[in-house]
Amino acid sequence: MPRFDDSDIGADLTQTRSPRDARPSVGGITASDGTTLPIPADLHHGRRESEVVEVPATRSSISDASQYMHNLSLNPSMREKRGSRNSFGISLPIPRSPRPSRLSIVSGIDSAKAAVSRELLASQVQDMAKEKVAAAKNMAFAFDIDGVLAHGNQAILEAREVLKMLNGDNELGIKIPHILLTNGGGKTEEERCQQLTEILESPISVDQFIQSHTPMQALSEYYETVLVVGGEGFKCRGVAQNYGFKHVYTPKDVLAWDAEASPWRNFSDAERADAHPVDFKRVKFDAILVFADSRDYATDMQLIIDLLLSEDGYFGTRSKNPESGSIPIYFSQGDMVMPTQFKGPPRMTQGAFRIAIEAIYKAQTGTDLERVVYGKPELATYKYADEVLKAWMEQIHNENRLPQNVYMIGDNPASDIIGGNMYGWNTCLVRTGVFQGGPGENDPNSPASFGVFDNVLQAVQAVVRKELGKEFKFKWNEKINPVLHGGDSLSAVE
Ligand code: G3P
Ligand code: MG
């Protein structure tokens, strides 16, 4: 059997060094910013005193992942004028109309009595400013959440002021239509709206809220037994059950059946207690649904690849033709990175996880993985958002129609902005999240059509001034008396 010897690889085992001796030196790889990245061979030169042996690599140091990736894996860009991430012809089912929620507007902000008297007063004010009212009902906002309204579970403070204003704290006392359109997920819509209501200090209704996986409820008409991946604990089981999937399993249920399925995982007793193990040799999975970020890449990748290569969706089997695809896989969104509270660059999210799966699949089968990716910037998500917006208009203004001037406010050019641009919405980019451009800069690949702003408050104020006039007041005045202050120039602010 052929084997390497020292002369084959050119290693000089008399030369040793310690990694701690590393210091920049001439040579190395030139990075995109022109700096030189030191590599071990450069750092090693002339140093003999440590215990490290540097053995030359036999394979190229350049990543070979691209040949394994699906050719539409990367985020689309306006430059490439790509119509859709999934432009190879697969359709994405979405619900025909939004499901009426069990929990409508989350209340608890205003007392009922105060709200009634304020509504009365506001309706009198609105009667006297009909043109402005029509314009206010003819505009709408679609807000991204992470990096625009919040960072995880911490509000971006300007967002509180924005929501108060849009909920009626303005000169007309009118609700300006707005929905929340996030690529986040991993918990039920009810739970996330409750959290957002608390941190943003304004009521967020399930009926104005779309998470990455919300439109995927339509898939429950196609599949009964699903492996749901991602999210905290077992929360995504509840999400999928709410959507109507009949048999919902998670990777942890599989581990509770046979922990050896993931060789490096320590499966805790607490996790086992909440798991639903069954004899997975007898379960035929219909589809894999990735609903949120994996909390355990090793286990989730292993089990996903197992099912993708299986015979008809049975764990523990191998298809005779794995390249022809076994069961379908759906990802709830495709963002590569997301903003977090980490004081450094944005962190990897579902898109990065997906690309790794695609690369592994291609390396094992030689073929591209067929998969569907929901979420912004996918057309299906924006179409569903329109349905939600229409239904929300009916709830707040009793008018089942779409406002003409919709503004997407986002922090991620590669999802929020390109998606909004392609859908014909106006777009605003903010600097509180993924986009880090400086003053005067827009994103070169997917520029925001309306502008770039420091934060959501600045963006919303600019939009409202454009649509409702430069003098529009962002405060409601409770002391206004429409009879005394009547006329076209009526303002609730004294
Ligand atoms: O990409 C992951 C998710 O956190 C993004 O959420 O609200 O920015 O679409 P959002
Ligand atoms: Mg965002």
Ligand 1 atom nearest 335 alpha carbon: 1
Beta bridge partners of 429: 410, 452
Q: Where are the domains of the chain?
A: 124-212+379-468, 218-373
17-21, 53-57, 265-269: segment of lowest average pLDDT: 17-21
Ligand 1 atom nearest 410 alpha carbon: 8
Closest ligand relative to 335 C-alpha: 1
Residue-wise pLDDT for 463-485, tens only, equals 999 999 999 999 888 776 655 55
**Per-residue confidence band for 43, with pLDDT thresholds at 50, 70 and 90:** very low
Handedness of CA 260, 266, 272, 274 (dihedral sign): negative
**Per-residue confidence band for 68, with pLDDT thresholds at 50, 70 and 90:** low
Ligand 1 atom nearest 351 alpha carbon: 1
* pLDDT confidence of residue 481: 61
- Mean predicted confidence (pLDDT) in 318-331: 86
* pLDDT confidence of residue 88: 32
* pLDDT confidence of residue 70: 61
**Per-residue confidence band for 137, with pLDDT thresholds at 50, 70 and 90:** very high
Closest ligand relative to 338 C-alpha: 1
**Per-residue confidence band for 83, with pLDDT thresholds at 50, 70 and 90:** very low
Fold (topology level) of 124-212+379-468: Rossmann fold (3.40.50)
Q: For a ligand 1 pocket test, name from 332, 338, 381 the mutation site with the most ligand atoms within 8 angstroms of its C-beta.
A: 338
Report d(CA 249, CA 308) in Å as an integer: 16
CA of 434 to the centre of ligand 2 (A): 7
**Per-residue confidence band for 321, with pLDDT thresholds at 50, 70 and 90:** confident
271-275, 341-345, 348-352, 403-407: segment of lowest average pLDDT: 341-345
Report d(CA 484, CA 155) in Å as an integer: 39
pTM given for the model: 0.83
Q: What percent of the chain has pLDDT over 70?
A: 76
* pLDDT confidence of residue 32: 43
Burial of 179 (0-12, 13-18, 19+ CB in 10 A): buried
Q: Which residues contact ligand 1 via a Cβ below 6 A?
A: 144-147, 182-184, 335, 338, 349, 412
The better pLDDT of the pair 118, 71 is held by: 118
* pLDDT confidence of residue 475: 87
Closest CA to ligand 1's atom 3: 184
CA of 25 to the centre of ligand 1 (A): 40
pLDDT at 5 over 80: no
Closest CA to ligand 1's atom 8: 146
Report d(CA 362, CA 255) in Å as an integer: 25
For 457-466, b/e burial (b = at least 16 CB within 10 A) is bbbbbebbeb
Ligand 1 atom nearest 149 alpha carbon: 7
Structure tokens at 46: 């002339």
Average pLDDT, the chain: 83
The answer to whether 124-212+379-468 and 218-373 have equal CATH topology is yes
Report d(CA 79, CA 85) in Å as an integer: 14
CA of 333 to the centre of ligand 1 (A): 9
CA of 18 to the centre of ligand 2 (A): 42
pLDDT at 246 over 70: yes
pLDDT at 29 over 70: no
Report d(CA 436, CA 452) in Å as an integer: 11
Task: For domain 218-373, give the CATH number.
Answer: 3.40.50.1000
* pLDDT confidence of residue 8: 41
6-15, 57-66, 234-243, 270-279: segment of lowest average pLDDT: 6-15
